[in-house]
Structure 1
Amino acid sequence: MMATSRGTARFLWAAVSVVFVETIITGLALAPAVLFIHWQSTWPLSTWIRLTLASLAFAPVYLVCAISLMAYSALATRALGWRTPADVALPLRDFSWPVLDWGRYLMTIHVVRVFAGPAFRSTTIWNWYMRLNGARVGRDVWVNSLSLMDHNLLEFADGVVIGSDAHVSGHVVEHGILKTAPVRLGRNTLIGIGSVIGIGVESGDGVQVGALSVVPKFATLDAGGVYVGVPVVRLH
């Protein structure tokens, strides 16, 4: 009973803390928009002109706020130590601190990908955010998917391409157990549209994974291979 009470207390603290941190982060990210609205309201212009200028400013102000959100979120998780623990198997019901840190880390990633991801995915700015948030991302990497989680467990070498809606993460939950392992993709690896990459997967250089394929957890893909299917098999 005592262990259950402690677990519940830890969960409540984690929930309150992540809401508090996200409130601060989003407030700071929205500050440029709030300041701009206040500033333009003081212009000695007619209401219609001010509204027109405010409408035209929406896109650049949104981009500034989105970049701010990415930066503040990544810096906050780094400072607070919210990360996905590597190579663990932990029961969710215990609400241990590593599990709660993982949950809070994923929550911050989710907020960023909802509000900033659509504008910046498949750009160098998105790569910058992932690096700042713990991922190891090489040069000329293109991530055209928002379904990447556990950034600190992702390692992409130079030239990796992640297709639209591909799912890559360092965790899986099986029978109430959180299991984690890093995902390492070699140079010039191509992950096709809508594919799923399991935890602990490692690929050699030049690997191609076809669209809508599933790479099982802890699989090793040989360099230069072409893999397709559910689960994947090597074509050549």
Structure 2
Amino acid sequence: MMLETMVLGLSVAPALAFVQWQAMRPLSAWARVALLSVAVVPLYLLFAGLLVIASALATRALGWRSPVGITARLTEFEWPVLTWGRYLMTIHVVRVFAGPAFRASPIWSWYLRLNGARVGRLVWVNSLSVMDHNLLEFGDNVVVGADVHLSGHIVERGMLKTARVTLGPGTVIGTGSVVGIGVTTGPDVQVGALSVIPKHTTLEGHASYAGIPVQRLH
């Protein structure tokens, strides 16, 4: 909570400084309203951009990352579980405040990279349900569709399990699909909308898949 309070405070400070500055200017009421109305969107984008940077740099400096390949009981608050929880909390705050502005843009891909993911060139992520960034690896030209659930963790019977997820170059994950932990795709894989890729599944490259669970189409 202390970290998020500081990160949010630093990020919103320039916007508040602008509001304070215009309040001290000799402007009429209508001019003040007009100025603030025009400034709302730029100030929000400034806040969101600073939040992306500050949050990612903070987690990097503190070493907060999702542990790789663990199986731990959630009720036992060991350091790997606590570190995972802190890391996901920072990701959640960014996706709530900055995600709506930057999703499916180069800025969002850059944030994922800055926050620990391995992201290639021309990667487009149009989902806010992407977690455990340091456990994700996306090759060049990967597209993650809207509302895709993709993370490096799963909770089963009170046990936290983590594993890396690797999407090969040219992979396209359709809208609303679910990608399990430990999934690996070859190059140029197409996954249809609303599909489920079970955990620890390997999809061969240059093929299309769909279904629950996914089946190869051709």
C-alpha deviation, 1:178, in angstroms: 0.4
Letter in 1 for 2:8: T
Deviations 1:57-99, CA, capped at 9 Å, x for gaps? 0000100000000100001111111110001101111100110
Structure 1 CA distance, aligned partners of 2:52 and 2:185? 29
1:121 equivalent to 2:131? Answer: no
Letter in 2 for 1:91: R
1:95 equivalent to 2:80? Answer: no
**Partner residue of 1:214 out of 173, 186, 196:** 196
Q: Which has the higher helix share?
A: 1
C-alpha deviation, 1:220, in angstroms: 0.2
Structure 2 CA distance, aligned partners of 1:225 and 1:85? 32
Structure 2 CA distance, aligned partners of 1:170 and 1:97? 18
1:11: which partner in 2?
none
1:73: which partner in 2?
55
C-alpha deviation, 1:45, in angstroms: 1.1
Partner SS, residue 94 of structure 1: coil
2:40: which partner in 1?
58
1:188: which partner in 2?
170
Partner SS, residue 208 of structure 1: strand
Deviations 1:25-60, CA, capped at 9 Å, x for gaps? 000000011100011111111122112101110000
Deviations 1:190-228, CA, capped at 9 Å, x for gaps? 000000000000000000110000000000000111111
Structure 2 CA distance, aligned partners of 1:84 and 1:155? 14
For normalisation by structure 2, the TM-score amounts to: 0.99
1:171: which partner in 2?
153
Structure 2 CA distance, aligned partners of 1:80 and 1:187? 31
Structure 2 CA distance, aligned partners of 1:95 and 1:52? 51
1:27 equivalent to 2:9? Answer: yes
**Partner residue of 1:149 out of 108, 131, 135:** 131
- For structure 1, the 5+ residue unaligned runs are 1-18
Partner SS, residue 93 of structure 1: coil
**Partner residue of 2:26 out of 17, 37, 44:** 44
**Stretch moving more, 197-206 or 42-51:** 42-51
Structure 2 CA distance, aligned partners of 1:68 and 1:105? 18
1:201: which partner in 2?
183
Letter in 1 for 2:61: A
Letter in 2 for 1:51: V
| Equivalent residues, number | 218
